[in-house]
Amino acid sequence: MEAELQKLLEIATEAACAGGAVLQSYWGTLQSVDQLQEKQPGDLVTIADREAEKEVIGVLRRHVPSHSILAEESGASQIAGGDHLYLWAIDPLDGTTNFAHQYPFSAVSVGLLREGIPVVGAIYDPFHKELFRAAQGLGATCNRRPIYVSATQNLSRSLLVTGFAYDRTRVEDNNYAEFCHFTHITQGVRRAGAASLDLAYVACGRVDGYWERGLSVWDMAAGAVLVQEAGGLVTAYDGSPFVVRSGRILATNGHLHSAISAELAKVKPLGITLPFGA
């Protein structure tokens, strides 16, 4: 199994880097933001998303043609009679809004699930030239060097990161209250706009914990493996086992996990109506 996972990790790496090269080629060349297509309000899609996805899928089809694929832009694809034990979850451009505004915090995320469990992940940030990789039982690395979660043990001394889903203006469960709550009891909460990199930053100890709702499989699959292999903990908000299709994740250095989970349970939604999202 170890040899197989190592091989699959190399495939994920090749795919992520291929997608990253496409993103670099489109950097700074997109039309104005107000001309870009929206899949739903606030959810942009660009030609860079689509072309990077084609490149990533091309690599996977060349190496593992029988595997199933779940990609953000083109959806799910399965090969008749293929190996459905494995599912590749692809986000060809995590942080599209950042990319469209030329804010350099975006990445290609390529994760592999085996029987629904994330086992391989490669996340490539072409703008900072950082390649995060991990596979179950093989550890986690950044640019081929081992990475580990932080040693922070007190919530008051922690730095956290989170995000807000595209439907945040239309639902009460929008993470605003949680953001304010943790801002007051930690050294700060960051919102960078790319879930895969948020998880990678937990894995390498730059932040101590991350929580978010409204996510898709491709947002979390690769990053979840990274955090676990770097010595961290990944669960549902309440500490129960992580389910990649749940849309929610709590990922920490482990030391702070129970404290963050307990604080999340205390927070009630703001209960406000946002007229611009009506």
Q: What is the domain extent for residue 68? A: 2-146
| pTM score of the predicted model | 0.91
Residues 11 and 130 in one domain: yes
Q: List the CATH number of the domain containing 246.
A: 3.40.190.80
| Shared domain check, 170 and 117 | no
Same domain? For 7 and 93 the reply is yes
Examine the domain organization and report whether 119 and 160 are in the same domain.
no
Whether residues 263 and 198 fall in one domain: yes
265/25 Cα distance (integer angstroms): 44
Which residue do the tokens 């599209």 mark?
Answer: 96
- 167 and 71 share one domain: no
One digit per residue, the tens of pLDDT, for the chain of length 278 reads: 889 999 999 999 999 999 999 999 999 886 644 444 555 444 456 888 899 999 999 999 999 999 999 998 776 665 544 567 999 999 999 999 899 889 999 999 999 999 999 999 999 999 999 999 999 999 999 999 999 999 999 999 999 999 997 766 666 678 999 999 999 999 999 999 999 999 999 999 999 999 999 999 999 999 999 999 999 999 999 999 999 999 999 999 999 999 999 999 999 876 555 454 44
Q: Are residues 198 and 265 in the same domain?
A: yes
**Phi–psi pair at 2, nearest 5 degrees:** -60, -45
For residues 141 and 15, membership in a common domain is answered with yes
The owner of tokens 């995320």 is 109
- What is the total residue count of the chain? 278
- Quote helix, strand, coil % in the chain, to nearest 5: 35, 25, 40
